[in-house]
Amino acid sequence: MEKIVITGASSAIGMAIARRLAALGRPMLLHVNSKQMKPDKELSKAEVVVADFTKEDELNTFLSRLDDVYILVHVAASIDTQLLPMISEASIDRMICVNISAFTRICQRVIPPMVSRRNGIIVNVSSVVASKTYRGQSVYAGTKAYMEAFSRSIAAEYAARGIRCNCVAPGSIAGGSLSYLMKNMGDRIKDVNASGRLGSPEDVAGAVAYLCSADAAFVNGEVLHVDGGHWIGL
């Protein structure tokens, strides 16, 4: 049976997605960057692979495991929130390496087997900043804009061959990289959203689950924003 692969599965969003998709009953391969994740009861049968995508040998080892992927959910990302002159060259290189180069190669690897089976689902986790940018996120926003354009191109090239490729673009989600901003901005983060609250990793997981389901069989090349009405907030 073809498997579900989730990169960045140790993040709050990645873990929520893994728990949600475990209900599909397929084998799961969960990628984590460096810290060993301890699967909970719902993920006890999942295989966990540690790989730093900035290291060529570790990325190649991970790519070699992607022959029989039915669903790929790409969550893994590197982020550095600072004004451009303050971002180090090493940090820029890491964001480009993880968010663009590794992401591209992972998609490149799973597509040919999907084409052979004429069946496959790719969901890439982008960000609201790909469309509505803010100070301090120039490089990160650029990498996510690449992800969305790249995903539309995959849909254009392979929809007729049974592949669906969509993005989910979270907004203000509690936990993860937002924790740093919350320390400095507090409730102002919530005020950006029309809903007046932060989202949860489970909100994102629900959107991903929908795009992986038969209910989304005619949805391709789209970006589903999960942002609590971010666009019509302050």
CATH of the domain at 227: 3.40.50.720
State how far the Cα of 45 lies from the Cα of 186, in Å rounded to an integer: 39
pLDDT(68) > 50 = yes
- pLDDT per position as a tens digit, 137-155: 889 999 999 999 999 999 9
* Full domain range(s) for residue 182: 3-232
Residue pair 69/2 in contact by the 8 Å Cβ criterion: yes
Given this model, what pLDDT does residue 201 score? 95
- Token pair 């790249």 in the structure block, residue: 150
Q: Is the pLDDT of residue 229 over 70?
A: yes
Say whether 60 sits in a helix, a strand or coil: helix
Cα–Cα dist 229/117, whole Å: 38
- More confidently predicted of 32 and 44: 32
Domains of the chain: total: 1
Mean pLDDT over each residue of the chain, to the nearest integer: 89
DSSP string computed for 75-130: -------S-GGGS-HHHHHHHHIIIIIIHHHHHHHHHHHHHHHT-EEEEEE--GGG
Distance CA 154, CA 164 (A): 8
pLDDT digits (tens, 9 = 90+) for 168-218: 999 888 865 544 444 444 555 555 665 667 789 999 999 999 999 999 999
> Of the residues 140, 146, 158, 180, which is catalytic?
140
Distance CA 186, CA 43 (A): 34
Q: pTM above 0.85?
A: yes
pLDDT digits (tens, 9 = 90+) for 112-130: 999 999 999 999 999 988 8
* Residue 140 is among the residues annotated as catalytic for this protein: yes
Order of strands, sheet of 120-125, starting from the edge strand that comes earlier in the sequence: 47-50, 28-32, 3-7, 69-74, 120-125, 163-170, 223-226
Average pLDDT over residues 214-228: 95
Fill in the amino acid letter for 45: K
Q: How confident is the model at residue 38 (pLDDT cuts 50, 70, 90)?
A: low
